Amino acid sequence: MKKVGVAILGLGVVGGGVYEILTEKKEYFKKTQNLDITVETVLEKNVERALARGVNKSNIASNIEEVVSNPNVDIVVEVMGGTEPARTFVLKALMSGKSVVTSNKELFAKHWSELEEEAKKMNVALMFEASCVGGVPIIRVLQDGMQANEIQSIKGIINGTTNYILTKMAENDADYETALKEAQKLGYAEFNPTADVEGFDATYKISILSSLAFNSKVCIENVYREGITGIDKEDIAYGKSMGYTLKLLGIGKRTDGGIDVRVHPTFVKNDDPLASVNDSFNAVHLVGDSVGEIMLYGRGAGALPTGSAIVSDVIFAAKHSENYYAPFKNNEKGNKETKFVSDFVSKYYIRLCVKDEAGVLAKISGQFAKGDISIKEVKQMTSAESLAEIIVITHPAYESAMKKTIEKLTALDEVVEIKGFIRIEE
């Protein structure tokens, strides 16, 4: 039976989950995997927290040097989050000949190339299943389950915090601030929720997932990003009445004009499988040219779900002598030969507050026509006296043309305000 020594950097929520799984299932892994896995050491500043987890005091390291110099440690698990000191610690582990398993999407999205270069030099594993979509094994599917396919698109709810907020806004008719406070109270959102609600977290994840899906490095600079802070509950309600559900989506598409990668609030049809993914759950929808459609669903965060993905990587690294590295040119700035779409195409939902006067709709329609944008549907909603709300749904149009048209509409005397502007995926 193979003996495997593990070190855990950080014993917070996720690190605690990893420690729990590895210690409580030690005998199970012996029976099912023929591996004797032992947590040899943990790096944790809060000694009391480590002791409360059941870690022996002699196994609590006070600095990274104690970890990387430990000959009994084969695999280092990094669950600290952020870029520093995580980057420095991971590099030291790799340079010391230790394989690394990480759940750190920001670190990986920003420094994948650098970390992989060091892993290759030392011929050790660099595993990152838990960096995207928590316990859902999307990385393994992309690496080992879809080789027969050129993936056409990847689309998913990949941030549980925003999905919880949008779910509560839809179900409870709550405004954004109220839903955010509830998410913070329950621990779904941080005190400073910027990374989640402004779409940074989802951007890191779709950068990693799209790189694997399209076999080319997708840097975070290649991802269009927009968060949910500007979403009104009225738009969610109006969308629902018109057959749409609002989600923050990470989207990657292979197009004739290049790779199209973005994160933004998106209306999907109510009968779309992603529309029924609620609360903090995540889901990813893949389309392959051979297999067709595949959807993976599960918990995108949490101690045990994320711990599950990390331990899966630990076992994979322990059982495979050949290490997996990116099958594409993994440069820091990506492959210069890869084309990215700078002006994507989408359908749009626009809500306008206008003066309730004759001829207003004709003027608005005229601006869309001048922008070569075809209107699919128009609805007028009740509003305050002398004002009306008009909702326009368009056929597919270029983003640049749509934004120019929005500028033209805003300049009209008859238009009081553009209240909603949301893209549609069907």
Same fold across 2-131 and 138-298: no
The H-assigned helical ranges of 284-423 are 303-319, 360-370, 399-411
- Among the options 155, 168, 205, 217, which is catalytic? 205
Q: How far is CA 356 from CA 261, 360, 375, in A?
A: 39, 7, 20
CB of 66 closer than 8 Å to CB of 34 = no
Please name which of 79, 25, 14, 16 lies closest in space to residue 52, comparing C-alpha atoms.
16
* pLDDT value for 331: 84
Q: Enter the pTM of the model.
A: 0.95
* pLDDT value for 204: 98
Indicate if the alpha-carbon torsion angle 54, 56, 61, 62 is positive or negative: positive
Candidates 1.25.40.10, 3.30.70.260, 3.40.630.10, 3.30.70.100; CATH matching 345-425: 3.30.70.260
Residue 17 has pLDDT above 90, yes or no: yes
Q: How far is CA 175 from CA 169, 225, 228, 235, in A?
A: 6, 22, 12, 11
Beta strands in 132-270 (DSSP E): 151-157, 224-225, 244-255, 258-269
* pLDDT value for 119: 97
Tens-place pLDDT, residues 109-131: 999 999 999 999 999 999 999 99
Please name which of 274, 165, 277 lies closest in space to residue 227, comparing C-alpha atoms.
165
Candidates 3.40.50.300, 3.40.50.720, 3.30.450.40, 3.90.1150.10; CATH matching 2-131: 3.40.50.720
CB of 270 closer than 8 Å to CB of 243 = yes
Task: Name the residue ranges covered by the structural domains of the chain.
Answer: 2-131, 138-298, 345-425
Tens-place pLDDT, residues 302-328: 899 999 999 999 999 999 989 989 988
Residue 383 has pLDDT above 70, yes or no: no
CATH superfamily of 138-298: Dihydrodipicolinate Reductase; domain 2 (3.30.360.10)
Three-state SS at 381: strand
* pLDDT value for 169: 96
Reported as a pLDDT band with limits 50, 70 and 90, residue 335 is confident
Residue 384 has pLDDT above 80, yes or no: no
Three-state SS at 224: strand
Whether residue 92 lies in the annotated active site: no
CB neighbour burial string for 93-103, b if at least 16 within 10 angstroms, e if fewer = bbebebbbbbb
Mean pLDDT of 281-301: 95
